[in-house]
Structure 1
Amino acid sequence: MEMDETETIDVCELHYSDLCSPSTSSKIDSIMEALGPTGPGLLAITGVPNASNLRSLLLPLARKLALLDRETRKLVLKEHNLGSDVPLRNPDRSVSSFAMQLKYAMSPQFNETRELDCSQLRSENECCDVEFKNLGSVFQELGFCMMEIGLCVARICDRAIGGNELEKSLLESCAAKGRLIHYHSPLDALLLKQSERRKVTSKRRANNVTALEGSELNSIADDANLGGIRSNLWQQWHYDYGIFTVLTSPLFLLPSCSETSETEGTFAASCFVECPSPTGHTCLQIYDPNKKRVLMVKVPPESFIVQVGESADIISRGKLCSTLHSVHRPLKFENLSRETFVVFLQPAWTKTFSISDYPHANSTFNESHGQCLVASDEEQQQSRQDHNLSQEIYKIVPPLFSRLKEGMTFAEFSRETTKQYYGGSGLQSNR
C-alpha cells in the first residue's frame, strides 16, 4: 500500500508548557484519551525550548555517520561514547543506528574521562573531529530533553490513573537508550559499495571518484530489493516493549543533483539536501485496532512524538494502549532518506510485572490492544487490501500474552519478546 493511499491521522498536540504543568483537567483527559485504548497511543509535543536547534545539529549527522568508512566511523563513535546495534558492515542495510545509554544522573567522573579520550583522538582524526566535534554533547543534551518529556507524560498519566508507578518505574531504571537512526535509500547502498570497491583497488585509484553508471545503479537497486531496502517498509511492524518511546519528527534528505546528472554518474555522498516530507507525513505508520486500518502519522514540524510501549500498557493495567507501528518507505521517492532520533524509556530490568488484575490477562489475543487483527464480518466488506494487510501483520507480530507471564521481570519479558520477533524461530527472523 502506497503512503498517499493511506489514511492519515493528526496526532493530539500539547504545548511543552502545558505538558510541564497541565492547567486543566480537560488537558489531562485529552492526553489519556490519546494514549488510551480508544486513541492511537501517540502524543505530539510542540514548543520545546532549544529543541529546533538541537534537532538541526544532530539529525543530519545520522547519514554522515552511516556513510563514513568503517575505520573513521569507529574512531568517531569511540570518541563520543557511541555504539551501534545493527551490522554496519552490510552495505545493503536499510537502517544505520548509533546508540548511547543516557543516565538520569551523569557523574563528573564520566565527563572527565570522556574529555580525556576526546583529546587523545583529536590528533588522530582532526578532519572528522571538525564535523562531529559536538556529536556526543548534542546527542546527550537532546536525549535528556526527551527523557524529561517522557517523565512529564508519566506524571500526568500517574495523576489520572492514581499512584506514581509509571514515573517511579522510569526513575528506577536509572537510564534510557538514545538512538540516532539513518534510514537508507538505495543510493546509500550504492555509495557504500563504491567506497568498499575503492578500498580494494590499487593505491593509485584509491582517491579517485569512480563514475556511477546508470546500469550499475539499476543493478544494485535490484540487489537491494532482495535485501529489503526497496520494500515498502524501512522498519517492520512491531510494538516497543518499554514504557514510552520519544521521537523527533523526522528529517528527510533528497539528492540535490538532477535526474540527468544522476544517470551520468556524478553522485557524491554530500550531494543531499534537507527537504520537507514529500508526502506530508512522518513515514511512521500505526495499525488502529479499532478501525482495522493503517494510519499514517502526521505531526507539526520540529515536534516530538510520544509513543506508548507495552510496559506502560501492563503497568497501567490497560489504561494506556501500546502502539503497533512500522516505518513506511515511499517508493515513489526512490532516493529519499530519513533521519530521526529516538529515546527509549523503560523500567528497571528487575521490575516485576503482575498481570493478575490486567483486564485482558485471560485472553489469547487482546483485540482492543491490537493483538487480534482478524476483521469481523462487517469489516470484511471494507477494502480487501486493508484486510490482507491486517492478516500479514498478525502473522509477524507475536501476541503479548505469548511473551508475558505472571511474575516476569522486565529483563525476562524483553528477552522473550526479542526471541519471538527475531530469534532463530522468531516470526521476523528471516524477514
Structure 2
Amino acid sequence: MTTAPPQTAQVVVLDFDDLVADPSTATRALMQQAFGPDGVGLIAIRNVPKFTELKHSLLSQAHTLAHLPEDELQKLEDVDSLYNSGWSHGKEKLKADTADWNKASFYFNPLVDAPGTEQDRQQYPYSYPCNRWPSSRMPDLEPAAKRLGSLMKDVAVLLSKHIDDYAHSVHPTSYQPSTLYDSLKNTEKAKGRLLYYYPLGGTPNDTTDGNHQNDSEDSWIGWHNDSGFLTCLSGGLFLQPDGTILPKSPDPSAGLYVVDRQDHVLKVELPTDCMGIQIGECTQILTNGAVVATPHCVRGVPGVARTSMACFIDTPPGYRLSSPPSEDDNHMLLAQSSSRVPPLSKRWTNGMTFGDFLAKTFQMYYEFDNQ
C-alpha cells in the first residue's frame, strides 16, 4: 500500500534586503508568522549573497568525506570532546540505547580553529573543542566549511535584531530590545555540523508497508528541539549511493518534519535557494515564549543518501539563561512541549548557565529515548 503524501508546512520567506534593513512593522509580522503562537519555528532567508554557491561547494564534498578510509576517519575523531569536533559515526544513540549508524556528522567551528582561551577549553572541553580537518586528503573541505558557516553566523546575527524587535513588541516593559543581538554578535561559539545520511535498506521506489526501515518518520534523525539559540540550515542534497547528486528527492515523504503548535506533524519544504533558520530553546527562554522552538526530525528514503549542514549559533557556556518577568500567559509557553521531546520545564531553571542547561538536556534526552 502506498503511503499518502505528507501535509506540508507553510514556510515564511524573508528577503535578504529586508533582513539587512532596520526592523519594520512588515518584518515584525513575518517574525510573528514564523516564530509566534501559530508558527513552526523556522524562517527561510532568500537571496543571501553567495549562499547557493557556498552550499554546493561544501555539500558536494560530504560523500567523499564519508567514504574516506576508516583509518583516515578515525584520525578525525575527538574522543576528549565526546565527538563534538571532527568525525562522528555510530557514537550517538537511538532509542533503546542502540548506536546510530544511519548518519554521520563532521563537526567544526567555522569562526576559529581554537575557540575561547586555554582556560575556557580546559573548563568546557565539550563546548570549545579545537577543529580537526582532513587537510591532506581533502584540502578544499576546510575553506568551504568555514565560508558557509561564517556566512550562516552573519545571517543569524542579522535575524537576531528582528527577533529582538518582535519580542520587545510582545513584552514591551520587560524585554530589552537588543538582548539576543548583544548575546550573539561577538560570539565564537558556533558549531557547524556537516551531515551525511547513509542510504537506508531497500530501493528508492520501496514505499510499501514492507519497508520497515523507512516506516519511522524519524528514521534519519529522531525528534528533538534545538537546545541552543539559533540554528542555520543549508537544506539538503540527495545523492545516489555512488555520490551522484539527484535533482530532487525520489520520495516526497523524505526530509525535514516539524510539529506545529497543535501537535500536527508537517513536512517542511525549504526552498533550495534559501537558508533556513530555526529557533532554539534558549531563545525561547530569553524571549519568555515570544518565539518558540519546534520539535523536528528527518525522515529517510531507502537506497538514497542525503547531505546537509546545520550551524548552531550560541553564546559562551557560562551565559545565564534568564527569562524576563511574566506579563501575561505567554510565560506558559515555556512549560508547554510536545510529547515527542522532554519537557523544557524539567530541564531549565531561571538563571542557570547555558552549559548546565545543555548538560541537563543531554541527560534527559538520553533517559527520554530509553523509557
Structure 2 length-normalised TM: 0.78
Residues 29-428 of structure 1 mapped to structure 2, 5 A cutoff: 29-74=29-74, 83-87=86-90, 93-103=101-111, 122=136, 129=137, 132-160=138-166, 161=168, 162-171=176-185, 173-186=187-200, 231-233=216-218, 234-255=220-241, 269-270=242-243, 272-279=244-251, 283-290=255-262, 292-330=263-301, 334-355=302-323, 357-358=325-326, 366-367=335-336, 371=337, 373=338, 394=339, 396-422=340-366, 426-428=367-369
Q: Distance in 1 between matches of 2:23 and 2:314?
A: 27
Aligned to 2:173: none
Aligned with 2:321: secondary structure? Answer: coil
Judged with a 3 Å threshold, the aligned counterparts in structure 2 of structure 1 residues 180 and 4 are, in CA distance, closer, same or farther, namely: farther
Aligned to 1:200: none
Q: Offset of 1:69 from its aligned partner?
A: 1.9
Q: Are the aligned partners of 1:47 and 1:303 in contact in 2 as well (CA < 8 Å)?
A: yes
Judged with a 3 Å threshold, the aligned counterparts in structure 2 of structure 1 residues 282 and 303 are, in CA distance, closer, same or farther, namely: farther
Judged with a 3 Å threshold, the aligned counterparts in structure 2 of structure 1 residues 356 and 156 are, in CA distance, closer, same or farther, namely: closer
Aligned with 2:289: secondary structure? Answer: coil
Q: Are the aligned partners of 1:92 and 1:229 in contact in 2 as well (CA < 8 Å)?
A: no
Aligned with 1:340: secondary structure? Answer: strand
Q: Distance in 2 between matches of 1:322 and 1:354?
A: 16
Q: Distance in 2 between matches of 1:154 and 1:357?
A: 21
Q: Distance in 1 between matches of 2:252 and 2:50?
A: 24
Judged with a 3 Å threshold, the aligned counterparts in structure 2 of structure 1 residues 304 and 3 are, in CA distance, closer, same or farther, namely: farther
Q: Offset of 1:335 from its aligned partner?
A: 0.8
Aligned with 2:240: secondary structure? Answer: strand
List runs of 5+ in structure 1 lacking aligned partners: 108-113, 123-128, 191-213, 256-268, 374-393
Instruction: Supply the AA of the counterpart residue of 2:348.
Output: L
Q: Are the aligned partners of 1:287 and 1:293 in contact in 2 as well (CA < 8 Å)?
A: yes
Q: Distance in 2 between matches of 1:66 and 1:88?
A: 15
Q: Are the aligned partners of 2:285 and 2:334 in contact in 1 as well (CA < 8 Å)?
A: no
Instruction: Supply the AA of the counterpart residue of 1:41.
Output: G
Aligned with 1:9: secondary structure? Answer: coil
Higher helix share: 1
Q: Distance in 2 between matches of 1:169 and 1:253?
A: 38
Judged with a 3 Å threshold, the aligned counterparts in structure 2 of structure 1 residues 71 and 174 are, in CA distance, closer, same or farther, namely: same
Q: Distance in 2 between matches of 1:2 and 1:315?
A: 44
Q: Offset of 1:71 from its aligned partner?
A: 1.4
Judged with a 3 Å threshold, the aligned counterparts in structure 2 of structure 1 residues 406 and 232 are, in CA distance, closer, same or farther, namely: closer
Q: Are the aligned partners of 1:184 and 1:229 in contact in 2 as well (CA < 8 Å)?
A: no
Judged with a 3 Å threshold, the aligned counterparts in structure 2 of structure 1 residues 68 and 337 are, in CA distance, closer, same or farther, namely: same
Aligned with 1:401: secondary structure? Answer: helix
Q: Offset of 1:281 from its aligned partner?
A: 7.1
**Any idea what the Cα deviations from partners look like across 1:332-359, whole Å, max 9, x if unmatched?**
xx21221101100112211112246256
Q: Distance in 2 between matches of 1:36 and 1:286?
A: 15
**Any idea what the Cα deviations from partners look like across 1:137-160, whole Å, max 9, x if unmatched?**
000000000001110110112233
Instruction: Please tell me the root mean square deviation across aligned C-alpha atoms, in Å.
Output: 3.5
Q: Distance in 2 between matches of 1:314 and 1:2?
A: 42
Q: Distance in 1 between matches of 2:192 and 2:344?
A: 25
Q: Offset of 1:3 from its aligned partner?
A: 7.5
Q: Are the aligned partners of 2:33 and 2:39 in contact in 1 as well (CA < 8 Å)?
A: yes
Q: Distance in 1 between matches of 2:14 and 2:330?
A: 32
Q: Offset of 1:279 from its aligned partner?
A: 4.3
Percent identity for Structure 1 against Structure 2: 26
List runs of 5+ in structure 2 lacking aligned partners: 79-83, 93-97, 116-129, 169-175
Q: Offset of 1:300 from its aligned partner?
A: 1.5
**Any idea what the Cα deviations from partners look like across 1:356-406, whole Å, max 9, x if unmatched?**
625669869844xxx1x5xxxxxxxxxxxxxxxxxxxx1x52100010112
Q: Are the aligned partners of 1:34 and 1:43 in contact in 2 as well (CA < 8 Å)?
A: yes
Q: Offset of 1:296 from its aligned partner?
A: 0.5
Q: Are the aligned partners of 1:249 and 1:282 in contact in 2 as well (CA < 8 Å)?
A: no
Q: Offset of 1:55 from its aligned partner?
A: 1.2
